[in-house]
């Protein structure tokens, strides 16, 4: 261990207490593990208790040149979890900063620290009477809204674009200073929590998908619970119907009929919600014909789409009429359901799928991580933790124009490559901004099967390469895909590097992450 590293550890211990500088081999090995193969080694886990301690940790990193890698709740599953891009970082684990700092029922917003989980926020909102919804993210109740926003993650309600709505960041800079963005940085501003557009350059954007600062609080707008939510489910027969359905849905988004995030997924994606790999029927990979047959046996179509309608009963009825008129004829079947009809429906795989999506559309607490256990032979535990359980799972994501033709072509590219590599090509896309679809190609494997880790990374790289050659670039990078940022034009990369050099001259914040 170098003198600088030993000095940093000694000073961190003095700043936040021995017990919160963790160096035991088991804890480090856990933090070095994600849902695919990695080789990076971690120096320590730092667990500060408050913003002052975060600032102290960062100052020490700057003074000694020993880097830190901030994580909030640390469940960045499918994208690298807590593993830093470079060896020798101390993971700055912010989970002890777990306070809800402020709640405004009138203006419908909440200010949270990094350690506040979805579960905690959901419970808190229910305790306040449930009039306001959070927008839930699909992975696990133990992930958090702040960490998810740092990665520009998404949910499916009308507030699904997390980074588009969050504001008032509190950021610890590399020199330990504390920056407030927007009106939060204008002393006494009465708009601090609701208006990011203070005069001058907009700073929030610098701190997501970057390594320019450590974010220690953000304000999140909450969606007023509508009087009624109805979810429409579309059974889609195949690629031709998928293309027309997506084009029809674009019009419904652009004219405001559908304010939720419309979602479309193939049969692999949808059966993965309600079952594991059918070992009793086939060896991997599950071929498309058998996947379609299994979907049909469970009342599910080759493709499924969803969109939720919000408002008063009269508003929802009017939106429903418009939606049915636009979508009828483009798909095989449309079914509309809500809390009342779901409660009365007999249990079936189809109903279970409907319950899961309706929960996502109504500000519910989601727990989808078990889906990643698709290829594991043992049942997924209730407290699913893919890192711990050697579950293989990876995202190849891509930004697509909201056009049926792009989606159909992209999913075909992904399916061909992923099946060729021996995995099941799950594909979904959703819209959190009216003109764009976020495509998510995923596949799961068992990390205990020799060779699968290597094949999975090769499949990822090949899908990403083919996506890019078609002009479909990623919208979020994981540890496995950080190299894809090199596709940006040199002047864009130089500009980002110049901002990094100005804000973090010693390069001690998450080196190698995005910038």
Catalog residues that contact ligand FAD under the rule CB under 6 A: 70-78, 94, 114, 137-139, 143-144, 146-148, 150-151, 153-154, 214-215, 368-369, 371-372, 393, 510, 513
The least distance separating ligand FAD from the CB of residue 216, rounded to whole angstroms, comes to 6
Bridge partners for 443 per DSSP:
394
Q: How far is the CB of 246 from ligand FAD (least distance, A)?
A: 19
Contact 447, 392 (CB under 8 A): yes
What span, in angstroms and rounded, lies between the C-alpha atoms of 357 and 352? 9
Element (H, E) at 503: helix 490-503
Give 3-state DSSP helix, strand, coil % of the chain, rounded to 5. 40, 20, 40
Shortest Å distance, C-beta 332 to ligand FAD: 26
Closest separation in Å from C-beta 329 to ligand FAD: 31
72 or 266, CB closer to ligand FAD? 72
Nearer to ligand FAD, 67 or 74 (CB): 74
- Would you give the DSSP letter of residue 154? B
> DSSP alpha helices (H): ranges in 158-210?
162-165
The three-point CA angle 198-199-202 to 5° equals 70
Residues 214, 55: Cα–Cα separation, whole Å:
9
For 195, residues 6+ apart whose C-beta sits below 8 A from its C-beta are: 167, 182, 183
The smaller minimum CB distance to ligand FAD, of residues 291 and 510, is found at 510
Nearby residues of 325 by Cβ (< 8 Å), 6 or more positions away: none
Nearer to ligand FAD, 74 or 182 (CB): 74
Contact between 245 and 330 under an 8 Å Cβ cutoff? The reply is yes
Distances (CA, A) of 336 to 137, 362, 363, 407: 23, 15, 18, 24
Q: Which is nearer to ligand FAD, 78 or 439 (by Cβ)?
A: 78
Q: Which is nearer to ligand FAD, 149 or 241 (CB)?
A: 149
Give whichever of 248 and 269 is closer to ligand FAD, judged by the CB atom.
269
Beta carbon of residue 139, minimum distance to ligand FAD (angstroms, whole number): 3
Whichever of 182 and 316 has its CB closer to ligand FAD, that residue is 182
Count of other CB atoms within 10 angstroms of residue 469? 9
Asked whether the beta carbons of 80 and 479 are under 8 A apart, the reply is yes
Q: What is the smallest separation between the CB atom of 72 and ligand FAD, expressed in angstroms? A: 3
Minimum distance of ligand FAD from residue 429's CB (angstroms): 13
The count of residues in the chain is 515
Q: Is the peptide bond before 241 cis (omega within 30 degrees of 0)?
A: no
Residue in the structure block whose two tokens are 């009828």: 328
CB of 327 to ligand FAD, least distance (A): 24
Tell the smallest beta-carbon distance from residue 466 to ligand FAD (Å): 23
Distance from C-alpha of 239 to C-alpha of 264, rounded to nearest angstrom: 12
C-alpha to C-alpha distance for 354 and 499, rounded to whole angstroms:
46
Q: Which is nearer to ligand FAD, 144 or 363 (CB)?
A: 144
């Amino acid at each position: 261990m170098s003198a600088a590293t030993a000095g940093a550890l000694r000073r961190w211990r003095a700043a936040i207490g021995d017990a919160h500088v963790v160096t035991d081999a088991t804890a480090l090995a856990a933090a070095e593990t994600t849902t695919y193969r990695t080789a990076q080694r971690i120096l320590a886990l730092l667990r500060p208790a408050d913003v002052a301690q975060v600032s102290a940790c960062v100052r020490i990193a700057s003074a000694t040149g020993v880097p830190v890698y901030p994580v909030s709740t640390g469940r960045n599953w499918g994208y690298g979890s807590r593993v830093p891009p470079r060896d020798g970082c101390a993971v700055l684990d912010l989970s002890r900063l777990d306070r809800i700092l402020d709640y405004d029922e009138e203006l419908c917003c909440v200010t949270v620290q990094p350690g506040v989980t979805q579960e905690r926020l959901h419970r808190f909102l229910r305790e306040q009477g449930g009039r306001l919804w959070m927008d839930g993210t699909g992975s696990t109740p133990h992930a958090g809204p702040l960490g998810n926003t740092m990665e520009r993650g998404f949910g499916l309600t009308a507030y699904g674009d997390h980074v588009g709505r969050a504001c008032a960041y509190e950021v610890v800079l590399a020199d330990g200073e504390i920056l407030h963005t927007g009106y939060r940085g204008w002393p006494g501003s009465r708009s601090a929590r609701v208006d990011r557009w203070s005069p001058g350059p907009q700073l929030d954007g610098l701190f997501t998908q970057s390594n320019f600062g450590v974010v220690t609080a953000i304000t999140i707008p909450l969606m007023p619970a509508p009087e009624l939510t109805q979810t429409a489910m579309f059974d889609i027969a195949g690629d031709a119907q998928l293309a027309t359905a997506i084009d029809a849905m674009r019009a419904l988004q652009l004219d405001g009929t559908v304010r939720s995030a419309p979602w479309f997924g193939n049969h692999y994606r949808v059966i993965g919600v309600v079952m594991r790999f059918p070992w009793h029927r086939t060896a991997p990979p599950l071929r498309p014909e058998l996947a379609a047959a299994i979907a049909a046996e469970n009342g599910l179509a080759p493709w499924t789409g969803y969109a939720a309608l919000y408002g008063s009963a009269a508003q929802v009825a009017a939106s429903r009429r418009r939606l049915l008129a636009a979508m009828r004829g483009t798909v095989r079947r449309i079914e509309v359901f809500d809390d009342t009809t779901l409660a009365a429906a007999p249990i079936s795989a189809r109903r279970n799928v409907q319950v899961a999506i309706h929960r996502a559309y109504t500000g519910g607490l989601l727990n989808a991580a078990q889906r990643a256990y698709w290829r594991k032979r043992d049942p997924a535990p209730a407290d699913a933790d893919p890192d711990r359980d050697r579950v293989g799972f990876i995202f190849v994501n891509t930004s697509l124009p909201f056009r049926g033709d792009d989606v159909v072509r992209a999913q075909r590219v992904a399916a061909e490559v992923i099946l060729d590599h021996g995995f099941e090509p799950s594909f979904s896309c959703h819209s959190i901004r009216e003109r764009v679809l976020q495509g998510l190609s995923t596949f799961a494997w068992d990390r205990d099967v020799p060779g699968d880790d290597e094949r999975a990374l090769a499949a990822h790289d090949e899908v990403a390469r083919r996506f890019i050659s078609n002009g479909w670039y990623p919208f979020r990078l994981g540890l496995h895909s950080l190299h894809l940022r090199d596709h940006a034009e040199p002047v864009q990369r130089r500009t980002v590097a110049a901002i990094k050099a100005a804000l973090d001259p010693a390069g001690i914040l998450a080196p190698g992450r995005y910038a």
